[in-house]
Structure 1
Amino acid sequence: FEPVKHIYQTLQLNLSINHCKNVQTEQKALRESDGQLHFNVLPEDFCNQGMASKYDETSSDAKVLVQQTSIDSWLLKNNIRSVDFIKMDIQGAEIELLKGAQHTIEKYKPLIFTEATEDFLSIEKLFDTLIDLGYAVYFISSKGHLRLLSKSTLVEGNWLAKPLQSI
């Protein structure tokens, strides 16, 4: 899922160059529901595209309308019957994505990988949301080690959320 046109085109090119035929792509944003979303248009060389453009990070007045869907809706429409892993790197829209994946999360209990930074979303709010969904949240060190997080030990970085039932 990639809503930004030039990034989506780069993704398509990368998949073609590497002969990846088992990957399905969608030029859409993942959010809480189906619909449309206005993005600020940022220069192609801007380092933080995607959802960052939704949060007025630049003074750009140019906007583009992109399609959005929820994980629950997309899985239903595409008759997908199993989800083991969700990866989020969407600069502040993580909670909206999780709201749109509640049925999927309750039914399949996938592992959830996310980048957690204070730039666009409180990491405490993201942590609380994952806990409320029935997950234990771990920080992934640069060496790949997992450290269980609590409210008093929250740090920015890569997180892995594991369903409590699997621990």
Structure 2
Amino acid sequence: MKYDRDEYVKQPSPIGEELKLLFGGAAQLVFFEIGACEGEDSIKYSRMFPQATIYAFEPLPGNMSIIRRNLEKYGITNVIPQPFALSDAPGDAEFFVSSSTRQPANENWDFGNKSSSLLQPDKHLELVDFIEFTDRIKVKLSTIADFCLRHNLSSVDFIHMDVQGAELRVLKGAGEFLRSVKAIWLEVSKIHLYKDQPLAGEIYSYMTANGFVLVKDETDAVTGDHLYVNATYVDPAIFPQPPVVRNTFLSLLRGKIRSLLFSHRK
């Protein structure tokens, strides 16, 4: 399979049906994509919910430039790029920048720019050894709570989070605003890909302690994604019991990364 940005944007979201159940009839919505990378998922959500306002947070200048180009390319007007990271406190922080010099030359896809983190890499260096972390930059930080206060947002309907091990920091930075969020789709890990990274079980404990219910589990032995809904606003009974469901495109993508890894080890 050829990996291509245009093809990815066309693929349905792995939680598309759940989002329709949650927000299908809503007139106005606020979405956050935290760790937006190149903005493709924000574009998907924009197409699904053209009435939504989507804030796309991405601290890497190179990725932010790609986001802006992609929004123009696809004619997206309801995604608002935010060129900084979210964490548990405002300020500045060192950011570990991922890259790869071993890119397939015939694919319109960057495997190297999707692993940057506020945390120092750990097992990631062993499991995906064609991804390098040779650069560090200083990035601006805000929090969900501060951003909502500055933009007069009383609540956030949906958060998509892919922050490479900094999930708990971002969640804690929401403060009391966390209880106003309707649903959160976030990446989790079962091993320490990054140093001091909270694992999937710790994320689960934090989410359930704050009134959220896990309604979809799309993880493998190492990593994957969880969908949580806020039981205060959503009856979890409308969802089936959380199965392990693997989106075909994402599974193939992870398989591609592993095949690249093993081929480079030969």
Moved more, 70-79 or 119-128: 119-128
Deviates more, 1:24-33 or 1:119-128: 119-128
Unaligned regions of 5+ residues in structure 2, if any? 1-56, 101-109, 126-131, 236-266
Matched residue, 1:43: 99
2:137 counterpart residue number = 64
Does the aligned pair in 1 maintain the 2:98–2:113 contact within 8 Å? no
Deviation, 1:102, is 2.3
| Partner Cα separation in structure 2 for residue 80 and residue 5 of structure 1 | 26
Number of residues of Structure 1 aligned to a counterpart in Structure 2: 153
Shift in Å, 1:23:
1.3
**Higher relative contact order structure (alpha carbons within 8 Å, sequence separation ≥ 6):** 1
Conservation of the 8 A alpha-carbon contact between 1:5 and 1:27: yes
The answer for the alignment partner of 2:157 in structure 1 is 84
Q: What is the alpha-carbon distance in structure 1 between the residues aligned to residue 155 and residue 96 of structure 2?
A: 34
Partner of 1:130: 207
CA 1:139–1:40: 2 relative to 1, 3 Å: same
Runs of 4+ aligned structure 1 residues displaced above 4 Å come to none
Q: CA deviation at 1:48?
A: 3.3
Contact 1:35 1:69 in 2 (8 A): yes
- Inter-partner Cα distance in structure 2 for 1:20 and 1:6: 19
Is residue 55 from structure 1 mapped to residue 120 from structure 2 by the alignment? yes
Match of 2:72 in 1: 16
Higher-Rg member (1/2): 2
Q: If the length of structure 2 is used for normalisation, what is the TM-score?
A: 0.52
Residue in 1 aligned with 2:84?
A: 28
CA displacement, residues 76-132 of structure 1 (integer Å, 9 cap, x when unaligned): 1111233111111111011000001122122x2321111222334311111111111
Tell me the distance in 2 between the aligned counterparts of 1:63 and 1:133: 34
TM-score by length of 1: 0.80
Question: Match of 2:59?
Answer: 3
* Deviation readout 1:125-153 (Å, 9 max, x if unpaired): 111111111111133459xxxxxxxxxxx
Give yes or no for contact 2:157–2:183 (8 Å, CA) kept in 1.
yes
Counterpart check, 1:103 vs 2:182:
no
Shift of 1:16: 1.0
Return the alpha-carbon distance in structure 2 between the equivalents of residues 113 and 122 of structure 1.
15
- Write the distance in 1 (CA, Å) between the matches of 2:205 and 2:94: 27
| 1:113 to 2:185 alignment | yes
Q: What runs of 5+ residues in structure 1 fail to find an aligned partner?
A: 143-153
Residue 148 of structure 1 is matched in structure 2 by none
**What is the one-letter code of the residue matched to 2:172?**
K
The answer for the alignment partner of 2:228 in structure 1 is: 161
Structure 1 CA distance, aligned partners of 2:181 and 2:97?
A: 35
Q: Distance in 2 between matches of 1:4 and 1:75?
A: 22
CA RMSD of aligned residues (A): 2.3
Q: Following the alignment from structure 2 to structure 1, what is the Cα–Cα distance between the partners of residues 177 and 133?
A: 37
